Amino acid sequence: MGTALVTGGSVGIGRAFAQRLARDGYDLVLVARDKDRLEEVASHLRSRYGVDVEVLVADLSQRPDMVRVADRLADSDRPVDILVNNAGFGLRQSFLGSDVEDQEQMLEVLCRAVLVLSHAAAGAMAGRGNGAIINVSSVAGFAAMGTYSAAKAWVTTFSEVLAGELRGKGVRVMALCPGFVRTEFHQRASINMSALPHALWLDAGTLVADAMADLARGRVISVPSLPYKVLSLAARYSPRPLVRVVSGDLRKRRGR
């Protein structure tokens, strides 16, 4: 089938993408900071699906590590057919309530890494005339809920711009905008999500299946599940003052 590179590939949405792509017959390059977890996932996928899995330990908030991943994407001798820019994390604290270094680190991973890795992948893919880039964004990007929300808004718009630039060159680009997914994301950020209705939680495997279906359809923005389609449309077409008020209320309920 080819090779797919997944950042943040050891847990959560990234691991679900890795499993789906391995099941589809893709060899994998898995990128994350935790070598032990990466090796565990790689071993499982090799034995279950019979695919080759390369482990690339990298912290995408560190620019030398980011360059190593970009170089792997640009390697013409080992082409990557699908890039999934999934790595990311959130901060519980408000903008002024957190250290600016933490905010900068988050933007390095959520924005700069997406830009740098997409540039490397898109150049190589356009030269071959085929490929796909999936940038994992969020429905939070349609709201106004802190720096994370702002970063995801950038990812979605950037994906639209890149999709336009690559139109007719055989390379598909899609921003995946999920809602709340059952992963370690909120636990790691110490965000209390106990009040969220059960119906708004998404399963990572189902999310990835929906995303791959939307990629095959040529969608540039994918918002899986009907509730989040409705919520994202409401956020995108409501007056921005209303969006800011509702977003502020949600932040307060989450203790931010």
Q: Per-residue pLDDT tens for 161-172?
A: 999 999 999 999
* Residues designated catalytic: 137, 148, 152
Average pLDDT over residues 167-178: 97
Question: Residue 35 CB: number of other CB atoms within 10 A?
Answer: 12
Amino acid at 140: A
- Looking at residue 162, its amino acid is L
Planar angle of CA 221, 231, 226, nearest 5 degrees: 70
CA gap 230, 256 in Å, rounded = 25
Q: How many percent of the chain have pLDDT more than 90?
A: 67
> Residue 140 and residue 142: Cα distance in Å, rounded?
5
Q: What is the pLDDT of residue 236?
A: 79
pLDDT at 186: 42
The dihedral over CA atoms of 245, 247, 249, 253, expressed in degrees to the nearest 10, equals: 180
pLDDT value of residue 145:
77
Q: Is 81 helix (H, G, I), strand (E, B) or coil?
A: coil
Q: How confident is the model at residue 191 (pLDDT cuts 50, 70, 90)?
A: very low
Non-local (6+) Cβ contacts of 36 within 8 A are none
Report pLDDT for 232. Answer: 78
Q: Give me the chain's average pLDDT, please.
A: 88
CATH code for the part of the protein at 3-253:
3.40.50.720
| Mean pLDDT, residues 83-90 | 92
**202 vs 204 pLDDT, higher one:** 204
Mean pLDDT score, 99-114? 94
pLDDT band at 235 (very low <50, low <70, confident <90, very high): confident
pLDDT-based confidence at residue 255 (cuts at 50, 70, 90): very low
User: CB 199: neighbour CB atoms within 10 A?
Assistant: 9
Specify the pLDDT at position 202: 79
Work out the pLDDT band at 182, boundaries 50, 70, 90. Answer: low
Identify the pLDDT of residue 192. 46
Instruction: Report the range of poorest mean pLDDT among 69-78, 212-221, 236-245.
Output: 236-245
User: Is residue 106 within 8 Å of residue 90, measured between CB atoms?
Assistant: yes
pLDDT at 205 over 80: yes
